[in-house]
């Protein structure tokens, strides 16, 4: 895990990725493609001040928009337990969250 400076959190298609990269290693994952220039995809990049940057971007929007999260990574990576960026963001902006894993995967015996 490493911290990176981000200029923007909100993508061109109203997508939000608070993290960059993923540790799940799904073989079907399009986000691992070299065209996105992520580099070592399993080295998670955490965007510094992500919540504040996103709040500022939302404040500057003229109209209300619906955003999606989790298009380039699972928003509930294991490191989310410690950082809780997705939880903080979702509490201010409720809506759908795309996930790669079941929230109870350990309890169900899949992990």
pLDDT tens profile 83-92: 888 888 877 7
Question: Domain map of the chain by residue range?
Answer: 2-92
Report percent pLDDT > 70 for the chain.
68
Whole-angstrom Cα Rg for the chain: 14
> CA angle 84-106-22, nearest 5°?
50
Query: pTM, whole model, 2 decimals?
Result: 0.71
Rounded to an integer, what distance in angstroms lies between the CA atom of residue 50 and that of residue 16? 10
Q: What is the pLDDT of residues 21-66, one digit of tens each?
A: 777 767 766 666 665 566 666 788 899 999 999 999 988 888 888 8
């Amino acid at each position: 895990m490493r911290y990176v400076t981000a200029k923007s959190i909100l993508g061109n298609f109203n997508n939000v990725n608070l993290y960059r990269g993923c540790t799940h290693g799904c073989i079907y994952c399009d986000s691992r493609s070299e065209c996105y220039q992520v580099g070592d995809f399993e080295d998670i990049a955490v965007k510094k001040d992500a919540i504040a940057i996103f709040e500022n971007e939302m404040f500057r929007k003229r109209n209300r928009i619906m955003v999606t999260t989790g298009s380039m990574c699972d928003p509930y990576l294991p490191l989310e337990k410690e950082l809780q960026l997705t939880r903080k963001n979702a509490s201010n902006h409720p809506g759908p969250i795309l996930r790669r894993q079941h929230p109870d995967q350990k309890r169900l015996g899949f992990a």
